[in-house]
Structure 1
Protein backbone atom coordinates (compact mmCIF):
# COMPACT_ATOMS: atom_id res chain seq x y z
CA UNK A 1 0.00 0.00 0.00
CA UNK A 2 1.01 3.55 -0.68
CA UNK A 3 0.12 6.44 1.62
CA UNK A 4 -1.08 9.84 0.39
CA UNK A 5 -2.01 13.00 2.25
CA UNK A 6 -5.29 14.89 2.23
CA UNK A 7 -5.15 18.48 3.53
CA UNK A 8 -8.04 20.49 4.93
CA UNK A 9 -7.64 24.22 5.57
CA UNK A 10 -10.30 25.79 7.78
CA UNK A 11 -10.59 29.51 8.46
CA UNK A 12 -12.50 29.98 11.70
CA UNK A 13 -14.34 33.00 13.08
CA UNK A 14 -12.01 33.18 16.10
CA UNK A 15 -8.89 31.42 17.36
CA UNK A 16 -11.01 28.78 19.16
CA UNK A 17 -11.30 25.41 17.41
CA UNK A 18 -15.00 25.27 18.25
CA UNK A 19 -15.81 28.57 16.51
CA UNK A 20 -17.70 28.56 13.17
CA UNK A 21 -15.97 27.96 9.84
CA UNK A 22 -15.93 31.09 7.64
CA UNK A 23 -13.78 29.74 4.79
CA UNK A 24 -12.12 26.48 3.73
CA UNK A 25 -10.11 24.56 1.13
CA UNK A 26 -9.64 20.82 0.65
CA UNK A 27 -6.68 19.30 -1.22
CA UNK A 28 -6.72 15.58 -2.05
CA UNK A 29 -3.32 14.04 -2.73
CA UNK A 30 -4.82 10.59 -3.35
CA UNK A 31 -5.84 11.37 -6.93
CA UNK A 32 -9.39 10.16 -6.19
CA UNK A 33 -10.83 13.65 -6.64
CA UNK A 34 -9.79 16.93 -8.22
CA UNK A 35 -7.16 18.91 -6.29
CA UNK A 36 -9.80 20.92 -4.46
CA UNK A 37 -13.10 19.35 -3.56
CA UNK A 38 -16.29 20.19 -1.80
CA UNK A 39 -19.40 22.27 -2.13
CA UNK A 40 -18.48 25.94 -2.50
CA UNK A 41 -21.39 27.12 -0.36
CA UNK A 42 -21.34 24.58 2.46
CA UNK A 43 -18.25 24.02 4.63
CA UNK A 44 -17.24 20.38 5.12
CA UNK A 45 -17.44 20.91 8.91
CA UNK A 46 -19.12 23.51 11.11
CA UNK A 47 -15.99 23.89 13.29
CA UNK A 48 -12.45 22.64 13.73
CA UNK A 49 -13.59 20.35 16.53
CA UNK A 50 -15.94 18.56 14.10
CA UNK A 51 -12.99 17.92 11.77
CA UNK A 52 -11.01 16.45 14.68
CA UNK A 53 -13.93 14.17 15.58
CA UNK A 54 -13.99 12.94 11.98
CA UNK A 55 -10.36 11.84 12.12
CA UNK A 56 -8.53 14.89 10.73
CA UNK A 57 -5.27 15.64 12.53
CA UNK A 58 -4.49 19.28 13.33
CA UNK A 59 -0.91 20.13 12.40
CA UNK A 60 -0.80 23.91 12.20
CA UNK A 61 -2.69 26.84 13.64
CA UNK A 62 -2.16 30.51 12.85
CA UNK A 63 -0.11 32.67 15.19
CA UNK A 64 -2.21 34.94 17.34
CA UNK A 65 -1.05 38.46 16.55
CA UNK A 66 -2.92 41.40 18.08
CA UNK A 67 -3.94 44.20 15.70
CA UNK A 68 -1.78 47.28 15.60
CA UNK A 69 -3.33 50.28 17.38
CA UNK A 70 -5.77 51.91 14.99
CA UNK A 71 -5.91 48.84 12.71
CA UNK A 72 -8.59 46.88 14.52
CA UNK A 73 -11.09 47.28 11.68
CA UNK A 74 -8.77 47.02 8.67
CA UNK A 75 -9.75 44.44 6.06
CA UNK A 76 -7.06 41.85 5.48
CA UNK A 77 -6.47 38.09 5.21
CA UNK A 78 -8.44 35.57 7.27
CA UNK A 79 -6.23 35.21 10.30
CA UNK A 80 -7.61 32.17 12.14
CA UNK A 81 -6.26 29.52 9.75
CA UNK A 82 -6.00 25.87 10.79
CA UNK A 83 -4.41 23.08 8.74
CA UNK A 84 -5.57 19.48 9.15
CA UNK A 85 -4.43 16.27 7.47
CA UNK A 86 -5.53 12.71 6.89
CA UNK A 87 -3.19 9.99 5.68
CA UNK A 88 -4.97 7.63 3.27
CA UNK A 89 -3.77 4.18 2.17
CA UNK A 90 -4.01 3.59 -1.56
CA UNK A 91 -4.33 0.11 -3.06
CA UNK A 92 -1.22 -1.11 -4.93
CA UNK A 93 -2.90 -0.71 -8.34
CA UNK A 94 -3.63 3.04 -8.05
CA UNK A 95 -6.00 5.63 -6.64
CA UNK A 96 -9.22 4.13 -7.97
CA UNK A 97 -8.36 0.52 -7.21
CA UNK A 98 -8.65 -0.55 -10.82
Structure 2
Protein backbone atom coordinates (compact mmCIF):
# COMPACT_ATOMS: atom_id res chain seq x y z
CA UNK A 1 0.00 0.00 0.00
CA UNK A 2 1.28 3.43 -0.93
CA UNK A 3 0.33 5.70 1.99
CA UNK A 4 0.68 8.80 -0.18
CA UNK A 5 -2.04 7.73 -2.61
CA UNK A 6 -4.02 5.02 -0.80
CA UNK A 7 -5.70 4.47 2.53
CA UNK A 8 -7.36 1.64 4.44
CA UNK A 9 -11.07 1.46 5.15
CA UNK A 10 -12.51 -0.95 7.71
CA UNK A 11 -16.07 -2.18 7.89
CA UNK A 12 -17.18 -4.04 11.02
CA UNK A 13 -20.31 -6.10 10.38
CA UNK A 14 -22.48 -8.10 12.78
CA UNK A 15 -24.74 -10.82 11.42
CA UNK A 16 -27.60 -12.73 13.00
CA UNK A 17 -25.81 -16.08 12.63
CA UNK A 18 -22.30 -17.50 12.45
CA UNK A 19 -22.28 -17.59 8.65
CA UNK A 20 -21.47 -14.84 6.17
CA UNK A 21 -24.85 -15.71 4.67
CA UNK A 22 -26.48 -14.29 7.81
CA UNK A 23 -28.48 -11.08 7.72
CA UNK A 24 -26.57 -7.93 8.73
CA UNK A 25 -27.96 -6.53 11.98
CA UNK A 26 -25.28 -3.93 12.76
CA UNK A 27 -22.21 -2.25 11.30
CA UNK A 28 -19.49 0.31 11.96
CA UNK A 29 -17.27 2.01 9.39
CA UNK A 30 -13.77 3.47 9.79
CA UNK A 31 -11.97 5.49 7.14
CA UNK A 32 -8.24 5.86 7.72
CA UNK A 33 -8.13 9.21 5.95
CA UNK A 34 -11.34 10.84 7.13
CA UNK A 35 -12.19 10.21 10.79
CA UNK A 36 -15.35 12.29 10.35
CA UNK A 37 -16.68 10.01 7.59
CA UNK A 38 -20.01 8.62 8.68
CA UNK A 39 -21.70 5.52 7.34
CA UNK A 40 -25.42 6.02 7.87
CA UNK A 41 -26.62 3.48 5.33
CA UNK A 42 -25.29 0.70 3.12
CA UNK A 43 -26.46 -1.60 0.35
CA UNK A 44 -25.44 -4.85 2.03
CA UNK A 45 -28.04 -7.34 3.25
CA UNK A 46 -25.70 -10.23 4.12
CA UNK A 47 -22.01 -10.66 4.87
CA UNK A 48 -21.42 -12.29 1.48
CA UNK A 49 -22.69 -9.09 -0.18
CA UNK A 50 -19.77 -7.22 1.38
CA UNK A 51 -17.32 -9.76 -0.09
CA UNK A 52 -19.01 -9.54 -3.49
CA UNK A 53 -18.44 -5.77 -3.44
CA UNK A 54 -14.67 -6.26 -3.22
CA UNK A 55 -14.03 -5.99 0.52
CA UNK A 56 -11.49 -8.45 1.96
CA UNK A 57 -12.40 -10.42 5.06
CA UNK A 58 -9.60 -10.03 7.59
CA UNK A 59 -11.24 -11.48 10.69
CA UNK A 60 -14.29 -13.50 11.65
CA UNK A 61 -15.81 -14.14 15.04
CA UNK A 62 -14.57 -16.85 17.29
CA UNK A 63 -17.39 -19.32 17.83
CA UNK A 64 -18.14 -19.77 21.51
CA UNK A 65 -19.62 -22.95 22.96
CA UNK A 66 -22.35 -21.68 25.27
CA UNK A 67 -23.90 -23.75 28.07
CA UNK A 68 -27.58 -24.71 27.87
CA UNK A 69 -29.83 -21.86 29.00
CA UNK A 70 -27.25 -19.18 28.18
CA UNK A 71 -29.01 -18.38 24.90
CA UNK A 72 -31.40 -16.14 26.84
CA UNK A 73 -28.66 -13.96 28.33
CA UNK A 74 -28.09 -10.46 26.97
CA UNK A 75 -24.64 -9.48 25.79
CA UNK A 76 -22.57 -8.33 22.86
CA UNK A 77 -23.38 -9.07 19.23
CA UNK A 78 -21.29 -12.17 18.82
CA UNK A 79 -21.08 -12.75 15.06
CA UNK A 80 -18.65 -9.99 14.09
CA UNK A 81 -16.80 -9.79 10.78
CA UNK A 82 -14.07 -7.29 9.95
CA UNK A 83 -13.57 -6.32 6.32
CA UNK A 84 -10.97 -4.06 4.76
CA UNK A 85 -10.33 -2.47 1.45
CA UNK A 86 -7.62 -0.21 0.14
CA UNK A 87 -8.91 2.82 -1.75
CA UNK A 88 -7.51 5.96 -3.33
CA UNK A 89 -7.16 8.79 -0.84
CA UNK A 90 -9.84 10.86 -2.61
CA UNK A 91 -12.70 8.31 -2.27
CA UNK A 92 -14.55 8.42 1.05
CA UNK A 93 -17.97 6.69 0.71
CA UNK A 94 -17.85 2.97 1.70
CA UNK A 95 -20.09 1.65 -1.08
CA UNK A 96 -18.48 3.55 -3.94
| TM-score between the two structures when normalised by the length of structure 1 | 0.79
Counterpart-to-counterpart distance in 2, 1:60 and 1:26:
15
Name the residue aligned to 1:34.
36
Q: Is the 8 A contact 1:9 1:26 kept in 2?
A: yes
Shift >2 Å, 4+ stretches: none
Name the residue aligned to 1:79.
78
Name the residue aligned to 1:68.
67
Provide, for residues 28-69 of structure 1, a one-character-per-residue CA deviation record: whole Å limited to 9, x for no partner: 1122x624x222xx4541111111111110000010012123
Q: Unpaired segments of 5 or more residues in structure 1?
A: none
RMSD between superposed Cα atoms in Å: 1.9
Q: Is the 8 A contact 1:21 1:43 kept in 2?
A: no
Q: CA deviation at 1:74?
A: 0.5
Name the residue aligned to 1:4.
7
Counterpart-to-counterpart distance in 1, 2:73 and 2:19:
21
Q: CA deviation at 1:2?
A: 2.5
